[in-house]
């Protein structure tokens, strides 16, 4: 009889790491779940346009996907936090910092904590979650990449920050809001707006490819720290979302944290480890995975590039064409004089 080879003992994560992973897995899956106003995996569907953040959202798939949480959050607001009135209803607004948005974060955290507790009891003997961790990173990486592309191209065209209108140009400084000042500042320089957009687009493109994802996550972290600072300092109501995007970028950098510390702070040789999905054993599965990734990337780029161009063309036709005498006039005399 031949000698049996020793079976390698699987790496065992610490109890704290396993519990934290279970919590993070549930929370991030819930947050990456399709929701109106946020980029998600539905963006990979050809011709799928990002939805609005209110009840007039026209996307049936998004409305179906978010229906359970949109039913849960008002119930929690009323019965757990004892709130009442307009704050317990989803308003027709572009704000991402409403009361129900904070309630949603609470619900996600509570669900993740309960799920992690049950999961820890039922699956306490599993040594690690390396494969599931790799799949979670893939979900977060693509969701984050789609978001960076969407936000970046909205600045490149530009659509997010338009040149100031007469209402802004004739408004006194004291009458303008902090958010209005920011929008005027960004819209006053299309070149700077596009520069910021290209930084976000570059990070998004790098995140789409696993070997470039670490560099993309670093660029995205820097870009999103600036965005979050602007949101907080100028009172832009997208604070929760920008904070979560920073957490996503830091989550993607966790495996490389040690190597980056040694390289940039200790000035020692280091090598990025990375977390990869196990390779498919069958050749046709490997080919299918490559083709699927290519189709997803092509579809997302098409939706953002072509969709942004169409939006800019429609907006320019409807709002940016002015009559010959468009402007502010001071009349020194009238026809009656």
**Does the pLDDT value for residue 289 go beyond 50?**
yes
- Asked whether 216 and 203 are in contact (CB, 8 A), the reply is yes
Burial 46-61 (b: 16+ CB within 10 A, else e): eebebbbbeeebebee
From CA 221, how far away is CA 156, in angstroms rounded?
A: 19
- What integer pLDDT is reported at residue 3 of this predicted model? 46
116: which 2 tokens? Answer: 């992690």
User: Between the CA atoms of 19, 20, 23 and 27, what dihedral angle is there, to the nearest 10 degrees?
Assistant: -170
Instruction: State the sign of the Cα–Cα–Cα–Cα dihedral 214, 222, 161, 103.
Output: positive
From CA 31, how far away is CA 136, in angstroms rounded?
A: 12
- What integer pLDDT is reported at residue 58 of this predicted model? 56
Report the pLDDT averaged over residues 85-107: 89
Residue with tokens 């009656």: 336
Cβ-proximal residues to 331 (8 Å cutoff; 6+ apart), any chain: none
**Does the pLDDT value for residue 13 go beyond 80?**
yes
Cβ-proximal residues to 87 (8 Å cutoff; 6+ apart), any chain: 77, 98, 99, 100
- What integer pLDDT is reported at residue 49 of this predicted model? 59
- What integer pLDDT is reported at residue 54 of this predicted model? 41
Task: Say what the pTM is.
Answer: 0.87
- What is the DSSP secondary structure assignment for residue 278, as one 8-state letter? P
Between 324 and 234, the more confident residue is 234
**Does the pLDDT value for residue 57 go beyond 70?**
no
Range with the poorest average pLDDT among 5-14, 77-86, 92-101 = 5-14
Mean pLDDT of all residues belonging to the chain = 86
How many helices and strands in the chain, by DSSP H and E? Answer: 11, 0
**SS3 state of residue 265:** coil
DSSP string, 114-158: HHHHHHHHHTTT----HHHHHHHHHHHHHHHHHHHHHHHHHHHTT
- What integer pLDDT is reported at residue 60 of this predicted model? 75
- What integer pLDDT is reported at residue 278 of this predicted model? 76
Between 190 and 173, the more confident residue is 190
- Asked whether 233 and 262 are in contact (CB, 8 A), the reply is no
331 pLDDT tier (thresholds 50, 70, 90): confident
The backbone region for 235, taken as left when phi is positive above 0, alpha when psi lies in -120 to 50, beta otherwise, is left
From CA 192, how far away is CA 94, in angstroms rounded?
A: 24
How is the chain split among helix, strand and coil, in percent rounded to 5?
Answer: 65, 0, 35
Report the pLDDT averaged over residues 270-278: 79
From CA 144, how far away is CA 220, in angstroms rounded?
A: 9
- Asked whether 160 and 194 are in contact (CB, 8 A), the reply is no
94 pLDDT tier (thresholds 50, 70, 90): confident
233: which 2 tokens? Answer: 């300092």
From CA 15, how far away is CA 7, in angstroms rounded?
A: 23
* 206-260 residue pLDDT tens: 999 988 999 999 999 999 999 999 999 999 999 999 999 999 999 999 999 999 8
Cβ-proximal residues to 300 (8 Å cutoff; 6+ apart), any chain: 43, 44, 145, 146, 149, 208
For residue 227, give Cα distances in angstroms to 74, 232, 278, 284: 29, 9, 35, 42
* 109-162 residue pLDDT tens: 999 999 999 999 999 889 999 999 999 999 999 999 999 999 999 999 888 888
Size (the chain), residues = 337
- Phi, psi of 82, deg, nearest 5: 55, 40
Measured from the Cβ of residue 327, the count of other Cβ atoms closer than 10 Å reads 9
């Amino acid at each position: 009889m031949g000698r049996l080879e020793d079976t390698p003992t699987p790496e065992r994560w610490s109890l704290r790491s396993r519990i934290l992973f279970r919590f993070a897995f549930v929370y991030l899956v819930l947050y990456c779940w399709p929701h109106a106003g946020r980029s998600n995996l539905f963006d990979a569907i050809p011709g799928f346009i990002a939805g609005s953040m209110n009840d007039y959202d026209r996307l049936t798939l998004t409305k179906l996907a978010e229906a359970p949480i949109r039913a849960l959050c008002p119930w929690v607001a009323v019965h757990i936090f004892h709130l009442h009135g307009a704050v317990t209803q989803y308003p027709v607004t572009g704000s991402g910092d409403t009361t129900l948005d904070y309630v949603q974060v609470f619900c996600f955290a509570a669900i993740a904590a309960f799920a992690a507790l049950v999961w820890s009891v039922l699956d306490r003997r599993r040594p690690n979650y390396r494969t599931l961790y790799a799949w979670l990173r893939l979900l977060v990486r693509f969701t984050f990449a789609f978001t960076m592309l969407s936000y970046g191209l909205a600045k490149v065209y530009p659509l997010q920050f338009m040149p100031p209108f007469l209402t802004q140009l004739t408004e006194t400084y004291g009458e303008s809001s902090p958010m209005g000042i920011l929008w005027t500042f960004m819209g006053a320089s299309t070149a700077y707006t596009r520069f910021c957009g290209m930084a976000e687009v570059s990070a998004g493109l790098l995140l789409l490819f696993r070997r470039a994802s670490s560099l993309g996550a670093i660029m995205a972290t820097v870009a999103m720290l600036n965005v979050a600072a602007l949101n907080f300092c100028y009172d832009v109501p997208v604070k929760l979302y920008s904070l979560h995007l920073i957490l996503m970028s830091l989550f993607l950098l966790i495996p490389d944290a040690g190597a980056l510390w040694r390289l940039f702070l200790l000035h020692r040789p280091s090598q990025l480890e990375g977390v990869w999905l196990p390779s498919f054993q069958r050749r046709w599965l490997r080919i299918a995975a490559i083709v699927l990734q290519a189709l997803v990337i092509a579809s997302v780029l098409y939706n953002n590039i072509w969709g942004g161009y169409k939006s800019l063309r429609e907006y320019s036709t409807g709002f940016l064409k002015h009559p010959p005498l468009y402007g502010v006039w001071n009349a020194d005399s009238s026809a009656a004089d």
